[in-house]
Amino acid sequence: MVCRLDGIEWGDHKLVDSATCRPAGKALNISRALAWTGRKNVAAGLWGRDDYEQMRKAMRELRGVVTVGMTAVEGGTRRNVTVVDTAGDREMHLRFKCGLASARALRELGADLKGIVDKNSICVFAGLMPESKFLGQVVRIVKDCSDRGGKIVVDTYGEALRRIVDADLAWMINPNVDELRELLGEDVADRPASLAKAARRLLDKVEIVLVSRGRKGAVVVTPQGAWQGRCLGRGRVLSTVGCGDYLLGGFLKGLTETSNPGSALKTALKVATAKAWGWTDVKTWPQAQRQIRIERLSI
């Protein structure tokens, strides 16, 4: 749920200017980003039976582009609330605990993925992963998808990211700057050259490292080279919620079309910028592609 208000402080009683509620989360945001660019995909993962039909109904607008392949399990899906202060140009993100993961639920998810993943698949494992006692089971699911020929993309953090990378299962990872620092166990300056140098240390385990830098853009590093990029134009940022997910979705869109990481970075930044400016709700991908200017440089 995203609530927008024209200014708010602690202790205020305010009417909400607008509120939207839609099925989301990092993985589903990536599906929406791909769908907006015209790329068909399957949205999979765990979803609570308590609100499963609500999610199915909301996803009808993307019918024909996004195939819903969620595994329905007992309980309700985790809810997030974002409060946007449009006058103060600031946001607050409130995350509820996730209680869907269980040994049984993960077994059901693993079984369902066997009917989805094949050698032509790119599998994105994104968002908050289950607590430590279930991580071994999660890694086994990732390995099974890899063994079936899927290319594994990981957009998570902490122990889950480290264990998947250490198991040599990831084809690509998408950390932000803080997550890259945590993964490497050291401080890394938020400068393109420093980020590229640090990310190259991971290339013995992963093929592509896409580092999100928020408003500063992004850096991508592969064995073939490293590139930085950022938006040159100025637009009003309506919300940063989901921008990192749209960055990844845009990168995958570009990479599957050109096989060129530098070109894919440019596409990624256009998609992420469109999301930040609210264009993904009012413009088409071809319109945004023409109107957003991106600077891309080799590092």
Q: Could you tell me the pTM of the whole model?
A: 0.90
Give me 227's structure tokens. 């590139």
Confidence class for position 103, pLDDT limits 50, 70, 90: very high
Q: Which residues of 214-253 are buried (b: 16+ CB within 10 A; e: fewer)?
A: eeebbbbbbeeebbbbbbeeeeeebbbbbbbbbbbbbbbb
Q: What is the CATH number of domain 171-299?
A: 3.40.1190.20
Strands (E), the chain: 2-5, 18-20, 41-48, 66-73, 80-85, 90-95, 122-126, 151-155, 172-173, 208-212, 218-222, 225-231, 294-298
Question: Distance (Å, rounded) from C-alpha 123 to C-alpha 126?
Answer: 10
User: At residue 20, does pLDDT exceed 90?
Assistant: no
Cα dihedral sign, 287-174-295-200: negative
pLDDT digits (tens, 9 = 90+) for 214-254: 999 999 999 999 999 999 988 888 888 899 999 999 999 99
Average pLDDT over the chain, rounded to whole? 94
CA neighbor of 78 nearest in space, from 27, 24, 145, 3: 24
* Whole-number pLDDT of residue 24: 84
* Whole-number pLDDT of residue 240: 85
Cα dihedral sign, 141-147-151-152: positive
User: At residue 131, does pLDDT exceed 80?
Assistant: no
* Whole-number pLDDT of residue 140: 97
The residue extents of the domains of the chain are 171-299
List, in order, residues 6 or more apart from 143 with CB less than 8 Å away. Answer: 167, 169
* Whole-number pLDDT of residue 198: 98
Question: Distance (Å, rounded) from C-alpha 185 to C-alpha 240?
Answer: 27
pLDDT digits (tens, 9 = 90+) for 250-268: 999 999 999 999 999 999 9
CA neighbor of 177 nearest in space, from 152, 154, 198, 161: 198
What percent of the residues of the chain are helix, what percent strand, and what percent coil, each to the nearest 5?
Answer: 40, 25, 35
